[in-house]
């Protein structure tokens, strides 16, 4: 779990740097295509972060609910997972 957290934080730090870089590009009136290329890279990197968080949720929260034997908790975590998948895929 701690390794997953650090991996997510590392990716977010890189994303933060990419966003600052794009802001500099805009300030410097860089070529629009170059800016759009970078924003596409940011979107892709953010999707990677979403995948990591979803995997972590499935590995820990959903798995814990399954192991609990509590049907209500299991259904709740399953519904959360479906809702999260819909949000991140849309």
pLDDT along the chain (90 residues), means of 10: 87 97 98 98 94 88 88 91 83
Residue 90 confidence (pLDDT): 63
Cα distances (angstroms) measured from residue 65 to each of 11, 68, 80, 84: 28, 5, 12, 16
pLDDT of residue 58: 86
**Per-position DSSP letters for 12-79, written without gaps between them:** HHHHHHHHHHHHHHHHTT--HHHHHHHHHHHHHHHHHHHHHHHHHIIIIIIHHHHHHT-HHHHHHHHH
Predicted model pTM: 0.78
**Domains in the chain: ranges and CATH:** 2-89 (1.20.58.1000)
């Amino acid at each position: 779990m701690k390794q997953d957290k650090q991996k997510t934080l590392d990716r977010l730090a890189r994303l933060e740097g990419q966003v600052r870089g794009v802001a500099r590009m805009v300030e410097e009136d860089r070529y629009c295509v170059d800016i759009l290329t970078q924003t596409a890279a940011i979107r892709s990197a953010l999707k990677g972060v979403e995948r990591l968080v979803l995997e972590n949720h499935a590995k820990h929260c959903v798995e814990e609910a399954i192991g609990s034997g509590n049907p209500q908790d299991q259904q709740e975590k399953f519904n959360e997972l479906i809702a999260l998948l819909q949000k991140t895929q849309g």
